[in-house]
């Protein structure tokens, strides 16, 4: 088996234009992303694909709510919306990747695993929602939305507008980890922990039950990457690289930084809570657990980033990151 890379695709990066959020538009974005993933496979990497679902799970939940109000359809719990988007996006990615491999003459099976991820039922995130889902709203729209949905929590998201936020507990265990490893070892390209995984809690006897939340896909992906000992952790997002002073007149892109530098910039407040901050935290979590290096870039620059020609590369710096960030 060659080198192993975990590639986390952002849910927002699959909706290139907010005016065109249709399933067909998403499929086209995945098709374009698959070309760049094919380049990585041809360069000698085995790949495991994960993906976000922030916009998609918000759409799915909103459809269910509207159907309930208009036609009296039964409600769909948030956890089931996560499962629905995991299956729907997984199907599209699986099909598109298989087609791309066939186009290139690559004989590699692709499979999607419906993946459950254990969280702590006492995680403080359940009392403090932070995970953005669904569409961006203007200040004017927020007034109407809050009136119609008083139980919603909406926050400003990195200068891009307001979004609904839901609980985002920390991922602790990937239930289907052994299945993922077995499939990788048999030559499969695996799509897993979609949308951060379906959040479940586990009782003292090992029995599982779903819980309404959305796990951060980058943090779940970093846990996966560390557990399966991936050589490279790639976060594919809407931005071509990590920036300091993002959106400001003195915005500066970063080509290569150490974990210590990433930590420093994070503490200085350079990274948005709903955008780059969770990605930096995920990378540090991966490096903490023995990961070698990580890359943050957009889909079009994946191949260039491997060669150091684009994106942001973050490497360990010889420190005991486990002591700094905890186990």
Using the Cα atoms of residue 90, residue 179, residue 281 and residue 43 in order, give the sign of their dihedral: negative
Residue 320 has a pLDDT of 43
Please tell me which residue in 10, 38, 52, 279 is annotated as part of the active site: 279
Is 279 one of the catalytic residues?
Answer: yes
Longest dimension (CA), the chain: 59
Tell me the pLDDT tens digit for each residue of 292-318: 999 999 988 999 999 999 999 999 865
* Distances in whole angstroms, Cα of residue 190 to Cα of each of 74, 99, 173, 176: 33, 15, 18, 12
How many Cα atoms are found within 13 Å in the side-chain-facing hemisphere of 275? 24
Cβ–Cβ under 8 Å, residues 220 and 194:
no
Please tell me which residue in 10, 11, 90, 197 is annotated as part of the active site: 11
Please tell me which residue in 10, 53, 90, 131 is annotated as part of the active site: 131
Please tell me which residue in 10, 12, 285, 301 is annotated as part of the active site: 12
For tokens 């094919």, the residue is 38
Is 12 one of the catalytic residues?
Answer: yes
The topology (CATH level 3) of 3-118+171-318 is Carbamate kinase (3.40.1160)
Please tell me which residue in 217, 281, 288, 303 is annotated as part of the active site: 217
How many CB atoms neighbour CB 62 within 10 A?
A: 16
Is 11 one of the catalytic residues?
Answer: yes
43-57, 127-141, 184-198, 219-233: which has the minimum mean pLDDT? 127-141
Is 217 one of the catalytic residues?
Answer: yes
Tell me the pLDDT tens digit for each residue of 260-299: 999 999 999 999 876 899 899 999 999 999 999 999 999 8
Look at the pTM and tell me if it is higher than 0.85: yes
For tokens 């935290």, the residue is 281
């Amino acid at each position: 088996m060659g080198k192993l890379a975990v590639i986390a695709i952002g849910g927002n990066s699959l909706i290139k234009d907010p005016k065109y959020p249709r399933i067909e538009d998403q499929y086209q974005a995945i098709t374009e992303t698959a070309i760049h993933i094919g380049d990585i496979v041809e360069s000698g990497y085995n790949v495991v694909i994960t993906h976000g679902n922030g916009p998609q799970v918000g759409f799915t939940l909103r459809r269910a709510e509207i159907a309930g109000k208009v036609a009296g359809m039964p409600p769909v719990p948030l956890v089931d919306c996560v499962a629905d988007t995991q299956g729907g996006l997984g199907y599209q990615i699986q099909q598109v990747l298989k087609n791309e491999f066939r186009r290139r003459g690559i004989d590699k099976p692709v499979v999607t695993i419906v993946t459950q991820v254990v969280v702590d039922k006492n995680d403080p995130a359940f009392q403090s929602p932070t995970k953005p889902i669904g569409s961006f709203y203007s200040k004017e729209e927020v007034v109407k939305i809050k009136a119609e949905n008083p139980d919603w929590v909406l926050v400003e998201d990195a200068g891009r507008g307001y979004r609904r936020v839901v609980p985002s507990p920390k991922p602790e265990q990937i239930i289907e980890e052994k299945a993922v490893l077995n499939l990788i070892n048999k030559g499969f390209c695996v799509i897993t922990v979609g949308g951060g995984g379906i959040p479940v809690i586990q009782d003292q006897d090992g029995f599982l039950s779903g819980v309404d939340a959305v796990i951060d896909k980058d943090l779940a992906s970093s846990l996966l990457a560390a557990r399966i000992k991936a050589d490279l952790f790639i976060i594919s997002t809407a931005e071509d690289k990590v920036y300091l002073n993002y959106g400001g007149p003195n915005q500066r892109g970063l080509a290569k930084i150490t974990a210590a530098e990433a930590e420093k910039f994070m503490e200085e407040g350079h990274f948005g809570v709903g955008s780059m901050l969770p990605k930096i935290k995920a990378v540090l979590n991966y490096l903490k657990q023995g990961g070698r290096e990580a890359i943050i870039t957009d889909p079009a620059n994946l191949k260039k980033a491997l060669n150091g020609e684009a994106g942001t590369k973050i490497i360990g710096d010889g420190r005991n990151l486990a002591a700094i960030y905890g186990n």
